[in-house]
Amino acid sequence: MTEETPGFEEKPDVPSGATPEDAEPKAAASPAGEGAAPAGDANQTAALVAQLDQVRTALGERTADLQRLQAEYQNYRRRVERDRIAVKEIAIANLLTELLPVLDDVGRAREHGELVGGFKSVAESLETIAAKMGLQQFGKEGEPFDPTIHEALMHSYAPDVTETTCVAILQPGYRFGERTIRPARVAVAEPQPGAQTVKSSDEAETTADDKESGGPDEG
């Protein structure tokens, strides 16, 4: 029976040429991926940032598309409303144009004192309705002739006018809003030929006399 020597422990055999450190048990390897964890987090963050940028870009594009569609819809609504008003105005203007001969008959009857009784009531109602619809009458004697709203049917000369003037209203003009339905048909008078020249000569002679007499008398 072999006796063990007290105070000595058996040591594993160490290959020749190996250092004592090689004989010590190596520490357990660190868990897999522990050293690569920081690099993985950075890659994941970069990917999330890239995705966020893509989402923001897509959101900006969709917002711009929505704003463009909204602007186009507002323009469409305004265009439809404008067309609707224009069609309504044209329809009213056409109706009022058809009523002008009747209004002319009413005016002539009033001038001859024939607008009496029930006919007077009907005529006044018709004129009131036409005015509510926006019909306006224009054309007065003595106003300057304007070819954009007047139609000259008669022409003469007069010594008491200084410009072409409406001296008689043969048929009144009518407008609806800014639209002229019918120009006023008028008789016009122009200054007498030579009247301006004679007037200028008289003024020149008066001025010359004043200079010779030392100026006009002062009271």
- Boundary (domain end) residue, out of 103, 133, 163: 133
Q: Could you tell me if 125 and 140 lie in one domain?
A: no
Residue at 68 is within a domain: yes
Q: Phi first, then psi: what are they for 43, rounded to 5°?
A: -65, -40
Q: Could you tell me if 49 and 69 lie in one domain?
A: yes
- Model pTM? 0.57
Q: Could you tell me if 50 and 123 lie in one domain?
A: yes
Q: Which domain holds residue 195?
A: 136-211
Read off the CATH number of the domain in which 173 is found: 2.30.22.10
Residue at 92 is within a domain: yes
Angle among Cα 126, 127, 130 to the nearest 5 degrees reads: 85
Please state, in angstroms and as integers, the Cα–Cα distance from residue 19 to each residue in 6, 24, 28, 29, 212, following that order: 26, 9, 20, 21, 147
Q: Could you tell me if 52 and 91 lie in one domain?
A: yes
Residue 41 confidence (pLDDT)? 82
Residue at 28 is within a domain: no
The number of distinct structural domains making up the chain is: 2
C-alpha 64: how far from chain center? 23
Size (the chain), residues: 219
Q: Could you tell me if 49 and 116 lie in one domain?
A: yes
64-92 pLDDT per residue, tens: 999 999 999 999 999 999 999 999 999 99
Residue at 36 is within a domain: no
Q: Could you tell me if 204 and 187 lie in one domain?
A: yes
Residue 167 confidence (pLDDT)? 94
Q: Could you tell me if 121 and 93 lie in one domain?
A: yes
Residue 188 confidence (pLDDT)? 96
In this prediction, the residues of the chain whose per-residue pLDDT falls under 50 are: 1-3, 5, 8, 20, 23, 25-33, 35-36, 198, 216, 218-219
Whole-angstrom distance, CA of residue 103 vs CA of residue 129:
12
Q: Could you tell me if 79 and 122 lie in one domain?
A: yes
Which residue is it, tokens 């507002």?
A: 74
Residue 23 confidence (pLDDT)? 46
Q: Could you tell me if 161 and 174 lie in one domain?
A: yes
